A and B are shown apart, each in its own frame.
Chain A
């Protein structure tokens, strides 16, 4: 069974940085692209970034390009998202998501989601 467990969320001040992690199990992690999707309180889903199986292909939403950095460590079966220059509107639940494809370029869709980690940006 696929399991995705996010961690690293919490309270952060505006302008600071935070790194989210996702531990994957139950599938061959290095065979699939992975993504981060967030959901602000009471709002809809927003895709942030995707990374191919071998980290060669990386895509970002316009809203976070240049501020957020996605990465993965296949040996540790882990996905990461570094959030820099945090803003109040970055407050959201951040989900780690498994693709069905190897590339993060639209060949697939989102088959499994973690339970999410909450990031709150506040003074």
Chain B
């Protein structure tokens, strides 16, 4: 089955840039979506189809997808960005559509 690999954690100082990667075989051929989950809350869509920001998401959040790696970038990180982030793609196995999430990346703001 298709596997998405994320770093377990990323630590960043306020005002700096956080880069969260999502690795998958030829992931550039797929649409990648990203979700933010704060402690005790449900996930929230952040970026869809590689680089489109969801409604209400600040432009500090951006996405890209190339080769075997998709990336979510958070610029000028704020304390409120501290959360778990998950990448998400659809793939096909034996002609059946399946969807998979990455293992998640915990972003810690110092």
Contacts and interface: CB of A to CB of B under 8 A. Distances in A.
B88 interface: yes
Contacts, number: 57
B97 A110 contact: no
Interface stretch (B11-19, B44-52, B72-80): B44-52
Contact of A45 (B45, B90, B91, B101): B101
A31 interface: no
Interface in A72-89: none
A111 B45 CA distance: 6
Contacts of B33: 109-110
A44 B90 contact: no
Interface in B23-81: 31, 33, 35, 37, 41-45, 48-49, 54
Contacts of A104: 97
A47 B97 contact: no
Contact of B104 (A44, A95, A110): A44
Contacts of B99: 47, 50, 106
A26 B103 CA distance: 31
Given A45-B88, A95-B42, A113-B43, 4 more contacts: A95-B43, A109-B45, A115-B42, A116-B42
14 contacts: A45-B43, A45-B88, A59-B96, A59-B97, A59-B98, A105-B97, A109-B33, A109-B48, A109-B88, A110-B33, A110-B43, A110-B88, A111-B48, A115-B42
